[in-house]
Structure 1
């Protein structure tokens, strides 16, 4: 997985994630969760093919921007324990 510190843009360069027509409302909880799943699915698929995970960085940046850190930490712990409810 990508290191969070390595993915930080330079100071003052925190771009807002682009508009996603699948999530038109102000509540971006589903957008956060979907991008988290998409990132992990992308990494899994790229590793299986033996390719670079660089294209997955987009999903990483979006979910890191939208999701509360506590959610991401809990989801990552659940993935490690094998109790995560999402299908990756």
Structure 2
């Protein structure tokens, strides 16, 4: 069973490695594009990292309302609950 904190910590860890500006701290409410400078290819890399870590296939439409790591955690937790039971 995955806990929200584990998912959030892994997302933040991945984003720290993907950000263009290593001097900017990655926070839960950092905007993926405006604050962290992620381009679409890096966002796809992030999804692949999450898929590998949590051994699941994440549909790209999960990103529709995602603009921050907190949003991504929320969307991913909803997806995990819908497709894998309560987490």
TM (norm. structure 2) is 0.31
Which structure: greater helix fraction? Answer: 2
Kindly name which structure, 1 or 2, has the bigger radius of gyration based on alpha carbons. 1
